[in-house]
Amino acid sequence: MKLVDKLTLWLVVVLFLATPLSMVISYNSIRGNIYNSEVERMTDVNDKVAQQLKAGQPPHRYMLDRPIAINKVRSMPAQATKTTKFCFYNKHLKRDETRLDVASFYKINNDVYRVSTYNYIAPGELIISGMLKALFWKMLLITACVALTGRLISKLVLSSFQKTLHNIQNFSLHQKEKLEFANTNTKEFKELNFFLKKMTDKAIEDYGHMKEFSENASHEVQTPLAVIHSKLELLADTPINENQALLINDMQNAIDKLVKINRSLLLLCKLDNQEYETQENVRFCTITNSVISQYENWIQLKNLSVTKNVDKRVYVQIHPVLAEILVSNLLSNAIRYNIDNGDLSITLTKNSLTVSNTGLPPEAEPEELFQRFKKSNQSADSIGLGLSIVKQICAVNNLDVTYTYLDGIHTLHVVFAEPSMVIEEQSTETEIVFDKNTAIA
Amino acid sequence: MKILVLEDNRELADSILNFFSSEGYVCELAPTFSEAKDKLISFSYDCILLDIMLPDGNGIDLLKFIKDENIESGVLIISAKDALDDKIKGLETGADDYITKPFHLSELHARLRAIYRRKKLNGNNTELISYNEISLNTATFEAFINGQLLDITRKEFELLMYFLVNRNRVLSKQAIAAHLWGDYTDNLANLDFVYQHVKNLRRKINLLNGNDYIDTIYGLGYKFRSADAVL
């Protein structure tokens, strides 16, 4: 629910609660005023009659349109004026009526006279029903006003909040640009902007430090690794026995893995830093074919049946090194996680690259496998960075990659953002010729 | 062959010197930029191993110096940074090849020999590398045993060449895989193919009555056994 709707709703609820109370107050005040003014008027009439009596003039039966009754009484009561209210049911009008009697006592020439007059006043129900009628229109007007002005004012007041929200939504750590917030004179929004600015600046700074650290660490590790690598090689050339040879081999394997992890992490770092930006269009088909031929041996070893549909003249704007790593990672995954005698299909069109393979069902959600060091099969002899590199390469080059698993088939689908350009050129196609002789006997 | 090694890391420099000295090469070490300049002016080298990150200067600047001074040595860049622009800049500024730390010494050797061969050939493409009954044509990728054409694949040719360059060295499966398939392909998976390729190569050489020079070093890899002194 929108903030303005919520506020409007609450305001209306408060109004509906407060209105009956205010009605009781107005009703009492109106009725009191009517009653008092009526009593005042009739007392005035009585006074006038009394003056006439004093002057010896015979009083008229009606004075100022009020019926007058004059009686002689024996003694003066304690109160000079007496008001009485009668309520009765008017059969003709079919409603309750209220009659107000005002009797005043005067002492004229040693006689005590009681002068009384009466009038009908508006009964309470009439006032209430009138107020209720007005209430309906009043509430309608107020609700409409609140809803309408609420919207307009909220647009005005919340505009800086909306801007802040927009800023935050577009915030990305990769952009390295600090967030700038619009000025506002609302205290709460000022605080919010201040806090957000502090938070995002810190995040950018920390992210930068972290990236710098991982890049520096990776670089610094390379040289010691190179030292160990070379020493092990020299050690292998010295006279050693079988046990020692096995130990050296294990070390070499571990170091190779370490080197690979380090290289992959460095590559990810560089991708983050946009070091592979390019305006060139590479021939994706050539790269795909050459990568496939690199994996020929492995494909034969696992005895996979390959379905290859690679269109010619597919151009994609991507750095050639990245294109090779992308295809290579997709393909090596498709082979590594394939079953023996399984199927492997590679389809390259002008708009997309699809690599699908048979394999065991993934142990994790397919999309989760794009995370670093996430492997479907933890014991597999890989480092678990292949797919996250794929994801990162795609992110940097505005390609869309999805991983699906259906009926025993794993499919990785890369969609090229812009329809890749078709450049008609002289047919000097230098298609990669498959080395048919690489067959393993 | 005379080599100048520019490497500021003492242990790594020692490994390189150790390896190449036992190949019979003359190796000199220059741990800094200024020392390297002095040596390059005074002596001539066949090849220079250049670490791009030196404590007192950038290796690219030294490349410019080599170009300006018309020094004819082949240059192999060694870098800890797998940075692309370094690679491109280096090759554009006149380096002959580029290798990333960490590397196999046998790989470094193979690359160095290739540079040396190219420099020595001086544009003449055809060169035969021979050892006893084996000879390799590096231009046509053909191999011969006693003059008879050996029916081998490109990868097997490269493998044989790698063995010939690194005679009497234990070549680990990892080193062979990295040499044949490069850094980016999955070397862990390629280890099995190394076995297949070596087996095929031995069988094919055997078919033409060549000697079996390749020894299996249990647990480690292979060694091309050669009776003669190093190259």
Neighbours of A143 (CB within 10 A): 15
Q: Is the pLDDT of residue A231 over 90?
A: yes
Q: Is the pLDDT of residue A113 over 80?
A: yes
Average of per-residue pLDDT across A46-52: 84
Cβ neighbours of B221 in A, within 8 Å: 236
pLDDT band at A433 (very low <50, low <70, confident <90, very high): very low
Cβ neighbours of B186 in A, within 8 Å: 298, 332, 336, 382
Q: Which CATH number fits domain B128-224: 3.40.605.10, 3.40.640.10, 3.20.20.70, 1.10.10.10?
A: 1.10.10.10
CB proximity A228 to B under 8 Å: yes
* Contact check, Cβ <8 Å, A294/B200: no
Nearest by CB to residue B15, choosing from A230, A382, A441, is: A230
Residue B125: predicted pLDDT: 60
Alpha-carbon gap, residue B119 to B96, rounded angstroms: 10
| pLDDT tens, position by position, A16-41 | 888 888 888 988 998 889 889 888 88
pLDDT band at B87 (very low <50, low <70, confident <90, very high): confident
Closest Cα of chain A to B152: distance in Å?
A: 8
Pairing type for strands A352-358 and A343-348 reads antiparallel
Domain ranges of chain B: 2-121, 128-224
Reply yes or no: is the peptide bond before residue B102 cis, omega within 30 of 0. yes
CB proximity A298 to B under 8 Å: yes
How many interface pairs between A and B have CB atoms less than 8 angstroms apart?
Answer: 129
Average of per-residue pLDDT across A267-293: 84
* Contact check, Cβ <8 Å, A441/B169: no
| pLDDT tens, position by position, A167-217 | 888 887 767 778 888 888 888 888 988 998 999 889 888 888 887 787 778
Closest Cα of chain B to A158: distance in Å?
A: 48
How is A42-111 classified by DSSP, letter by letter? HHHHHHHHHHHHHTTPPPPSEETTEEEEEEEESS--S-SEEEEEEEEEETTTTEEEEEEEEEEEEEETTE
* Contact check, Cβ <8 Å, A441/B203: yes
Contact A327, A288 (CB under 8 A): yes
* Contact check, Cβ <8 Å, A234/B154: no
A28: region left, alpha or beta (phi > 0 left; psi from -120 to 50 alpha): alpha
CATH architecture, range B2-121? 3-Layer(aba) Sandwich (3.40)
Residue B188: predicted pLDDT: 57
Cβ neighbours of A298 in B, within 8 Å: 186, 189-190, 193
Q: Which carries the bigger pLDDT value, residue B230 or residue B166?
A: B166
Q: Is the pLDDT of residue A277 over 80?
A: no
Q: Is the pLDDT of residue A223 over 50?
A: yes
Cβ neighbours of B169 in A, within 8 Å: 237
Pair of tokens at residue A440: 């393993």
Interface mutation vs chain A, best among B157, B170, B197, most A CBs within 10 Å: B170
Interface mutation vs chain A, best among B154, B215, B220, B222, most A CBs within 10 Å: B220
Residue A439: predicted pLDDT: 34
* Contact check, Cβ <8 Å, A259/B104: no
Residue A218: predicted pLDDT: 78
Nearest by CB to residue B181, choosing from A253, A275, A294, is: A294
Residue B100: predicted pLDDT: 85
Nearest by CB to residue B82, choosing from A246, A263, A335, is: A263
DSSP helix/strand/coil, A240: coil
pLDDT band at B230 (very low <50, low <70, confident <90, very high): very low
| pLDDT tens, position by position, A298-349 | 788 788 899 999 988 888 888 888 888 899 889 988 888 888 899 999 999 9
* Contact check, Cβ <8 Å, B185/A256: no
How is chain B classified by DSSP, letter by letter? -EEEEE-S-HHHHHHHHHHHHHTT-EEEEE-SHHHHHHHHHH---SEEEEESEETTEEHHHHHHHHHHTT---EEEEEES---HHHHHHHHHTT-SEEEESS--HHHHHHHHHHHHHHHHHTT----EEEETTEEEETTTTEEEETTEEE---HHHHHHHHHHHHTTTSEEEHHHHHHHHH-SSS-HHHHHHHHHHHHHHHHHHHHHTT----EEEETTTEEEE---SPP-
CB proximity A262 to B under 8 Å: no
* Nearest residue to A193 via CA among A172, A154, A162, A170: A162
Contact A352, B211 (CB under 8 A): no
A68: region left, alpha or beta (phi > 0 left; psi from -120 to 50 alpha): beta
Q: Is the pLDDT of residue B85 over 70?
A: no
CB proximity A440 to B under 8 Å: yes
Residue A420: predicted pLDDT: 47
Radius of gyration in angstroms for the set of CA atoms belonging to chain A, rounded to a whole number: 48
Residue A435: predicted pLDDT: 37
State the pTM of this model.
Answer: 0.64
CB proximity A246 to B under 8 Å: yes
| pLDDT tens, position by position, A380-406 | 566 678 888 888 888 888 888 998 888
Q: Is the pLDDT of residue B223 over 60?
A: yes
How remote is the C-alpha of B161 from its chain's centroid?
Answer: 10
Mean pLDDT (chain A, rounded): 82
Q: Is the pLDDT of residue B108 over 60?
A: yes
Q: Is the pLDDT of residue A430 over 70?
A: no
Cβ neighbours of B192 in A, within 8 Å: 301
Q: Is the pLDDT of residue B113 over 60?
A: yes
* Contact check, Cβ <8 Å, B184/A324: yes
List of residues 6+ apart from A361 with CB closer than 8 A: A405, A408
Residue in B with minimal Cα distance to A258: B102
Residue A429: predicted pLDDT: 39
